[in-house]
Structure 1
Amino acid sequence: MTSAIKIYSFLIMLLAFSASQAQTSKIISGSTNFSVKFVLGTCDGTFDAPKGTAVFDEKNISTASFNITVSAASFKTGNNSRDKDMKSEKYFFVSKYPDIHFKSSKTEKDGANYKTTGTLTIRDVSKTVTLPFEAKKKADGTYALSSVFEINRLDYKIGEKDWKLKDIVKVDLKAIIK
């Protein structure tokens, strides 16, 4: 390979790398809410806003990727006793597993919305999941992303089978990326 071709190839790789880096966004705000039914009704709660990075361009979905972390230690339901119990080794075991993590491997258009497939890790359990989401570009160039999905808490060793607490947890995740 001649020197000119090597330099040309290097410049193309550098431009491609720079272009892909320019698309990486940070999560600048958001919320993580959940609800689970139990014998006395529904328990609603929150985690702190998600953190991480995202690459998203509605015109080029194949390049989309998400690397999101939610602090399991930030679990709140408004009941201090329950919150303390949920952070124990019986449930989230936050002293050993302080974060919930999602890393995408594929994102696709799904009708008017999108879906992303990746690995969701809670405690020491990692599973492949597909999460539906909406993306709306705002006037300031940011994207508002939102995903509502359900997970089975038992799949991730969050407690044990219990007639007082349902297994399915509904999660509502919102993020603004810039």
Structure 2
Amino acid sequence: MNFPLSTTLTPLTAAAALGAALLIATPAEAAPVVDAAKSEVTFAIKQMGVPVEGRFKKFDAQMAFDPKKPETGKVSFSIDLGSATMGSAETDVELPKATWFNTAKFPQATFQSSAIKGLGGGKYEVTGKLNIKGASKYVVVPVTLAAAGPAATATGTFAIKRLDFKIGDGDWSDTSMVANDVTVKFKLQINGLGAL
């Protein structure tokens, strides 16, 4: 039995047209990406009253964020703790050990947002859970977003207590030697964020 060609192809053509229309109507938007080569994450602490600074050389971020609808956004951040450096070979060899970051057991620190609040003027508050060495604490991270050509720059500073995460355990828990307060700073270049 022969069917007219037009009758046979019409449902297939309609399905193909519908599929194409859906693809055109809902284009996949690329998620914003942090350019790690143009970004930095640093930390500062006082050792016997003297400020000492360090940085993490390896980190990554995933985000779904619309500056115009911040409350719908999500941010996750991971830091390779083994990439920590304080600029001294003697100190750097100690950081991965169990007393400090224990990178053999806990190679990464992570942050997962639970809420993002827009404050106006490019300022936001990102609340989330910070996990270091198996310990988790909620932190509120102030973030300022500014346009930087086709990209955007996110900057912020927040404080943690190192002993909350057992960083500097044992004899090093004496805060007269190494202060408990740690200041974390970041400057991230973000590509594909969209208009601020």
**C-alpha distance in structure 2 between counterparts of 1:44 and 1:35, whole Å:** 4
Question: In 2, are the aligned partners of 1:61 and 1:108 still within 8 Å (CA)?
Answer: yes
Partner residue, 2:184: 171
Letter in 1 for 2:29: A
Partner residue, 2:15: none
**C-alpha distance in structure 2 between counterparts of 1:110 and 1:159, whole Å:** 35
Q: Residues 174, 49 of structure 1: CA spacing in aligned structure 2 closer, same or farther, 3 A cutoff?
A: farther
Partner residue, 2:16: none
TM superposition score normalised by structure 2 = 0.76
2:165 maps to which of 147, 156, 163:
156
Question: Shift of the alpha carbon at 1:49?
Answer: 4.7
Deviates more, 1:85-94 or 1:53-62: 53-62
Q: How much identity, in percent, do the aligned residues show?
A: 26
Matches within 5 A, 1:19-58: 22=29, 24-29=31-36, 30-39=39-48, 41-58=50-67
Question: In 2, are the aligned partners of 1:39 and 1:165 still within 8 Å (CA)?
Answer: yes
Matched, 1:69 2:78: yes
Q: How many residues align?
A: 162
**C-alpha distance in structure 1 between counterparts of 2:95 and 2:70, whole Å:** 37
Letter in 2 for 1:54: M
Give the aligned CA root-mean-square deviation in angstroms: 2.0
**C-alpha distance in structure 1 between counterparts of 2:116 and 2:75, whole Å:** 9
Letter in 1 for 2:115: K
Letter in 1 for 2:78: T
**C-alpha distance in structure 1 between counterparts of 2:177 and 2:60, whole Å:** 32
**C-alpha distance in structure 2 between counterparts of 1:40 and 1:130, whole Å:** 26
Contiguous gaps of at least 5 residues in structure 1: 1-10
Q: Residues 173, 73 of structure 1: CA spacing in aligned structure 2 closer, same or farther, 3 A cutoff?
A: same
Partner residue, 2:118: 109
Name the larger-Rg structure: 2
2:107 maps to which of 75, 79, 98:
98
Contiguous gaps of at least 5 residues in structure 2: 1-18, 192-196
